[in-house]
Amino acid sequence: MEGKEMVIRLPGRSCAPGGIGETTVLRHKEVHHFFFLPFREQPIYSTRAHVFQIDPNTKKNWMPTSKHAVTVSYFYDSTRNVYRIISLDGSKAIINSTITPNMNFTKTSHKFGQWADSRANTVYGLGFSSEHHLAKFAEKFAEYKEAARMAKEKSLEKMELASSPSQESPADIHSPLTPPVTADLCRINGTGDDVTLSDVSPNSVLQSDLSPTTPTLAHSPATNKHWEAELAALKSNNAKLTAALLESTANVKQWKQQLAAYQEEAERLHSRVSELESQSSQTNVIKSQKTELNQTIEELECTLKAKEEEMVRLRDEVENAKHLQTQKDELTQKLEETNLRNKELEEQLADLEQRLESSQVDQESLRKNLKTLLEILDGKIFELTELRDNLAKLIEDS
pLDDT-derived band at 162 (thresholds 50, 70, 90) equals low
pLDDT-derived band at 163 (thresholds 50, 70, 90) equals low
65, 51 in Cβ contact below 8 A? yes
Q: Which residues, 6 or more positions from 163, have their beta carbon under 8 angstroms from its beta carbon?
A: 180, 181, 182
The mean pLDDT value for 173-196 works out to 36
3-state secondary structure of 201: coil
Residue with more model confidence, 243 or 103: 103
- Percent of the chain's residues with pLDDT above 90: 30
pLDDT-derived band at 376 (thresholds 50, 70, 90) equals very high
Q: What are phi and psi of 113, to 5 degrees?
A: -140, 160
The mean pLDDT value for 113-124 works out to 90
Q: Which of 243, 183, 180 is nearest to 209 (CA)?
A: 180
8, 234 in Cβ contact below 8 A? no
76, 83 in Cβ contact below 8 A? yes
Q: In this predicted structure, what is the pLDDT of residue 123?
A: 92
Residue with more model confidence, 148 or 165: 148
pLDDT-derived band at 351 (thresholds 50, 70, 90) equals very high
- CA dist., res. 22 & res. 12, Å (int): 5
Please, what is the average pLDDT of the chain?
A: 75
pLDDT-derived band at 61 (thresholds 50, 70, 90) equals confident
Residue with more model confidence, 103 or 168: 103
Residue with more model confidence, 190 or 350: 350
Longest pairwise C-alpha distance within the chain: 228
Q: In this predicted structure, what is the pLDDT of residue 1?
A: 45
**Per-residue model confidence as pLDDT tens digits over 69-111:** 999 999 988 888 889 999 988 888 899 999 998 899 999 999 9
No. of helices (H) and no. of strands (E), the chain:
6, 10
3-state secondary structure of 117: strand
Give the least confident one: 48-57, 79-88, 105-114, 277-286. Answer: 277-286
- Percent of the chain's residues with pLDDT above 70: 74
Q: Report the Cα–Cα distance between both ends of the chain, in Å, rounded.
A: 205
Task: Calculate the CA 136 to chain-centre distance.
Answer: 18
- CA dist., res. 64 & res. 66, Å (int): 6
53, 115 in Cβ contact below 8 A? no
Q: What is the 8-class DSSP label of residue 8?
A: E
Q: What angle do CA 159, 160, 166 make, to 5 degrees?
A: 100
Asked whether the predicted pLDDT for residue 184 surpasses 80, the reply is: no
Q: Which of 1, 7, 12 is nearest to 30 (CA)?
A: 7
For the chain, list the domains and their CATH numbers: 45-158 (2.30.29.30)
**DSSP string spanning 48-114?**
EEEEEEE-TTTSSSEEES-SS-EEEEEEEETTTTEEEEEEEETTEEEEEEE--TT--EEE-SSSEEE
Cα atoms in the 13 Å half-sphere on the side-chain side of 283: 7
Residue with more model confidence, 155 or 43: 43
Q: What is the 8-class DSSP label of residue 296?
A: H
Q: In this predicted structure, what is the pLDDT of residue 335?
A: 93
Cα dihedral 198, 200, 203, 205, rounded to 10, equals: -90
Q: pTM to 2 decimals?
A: 0.35
- CA dist., res. 68 & res. 214, Å (int): 66
Q: What is the 8-class DSSP label of residue 322?
A: H
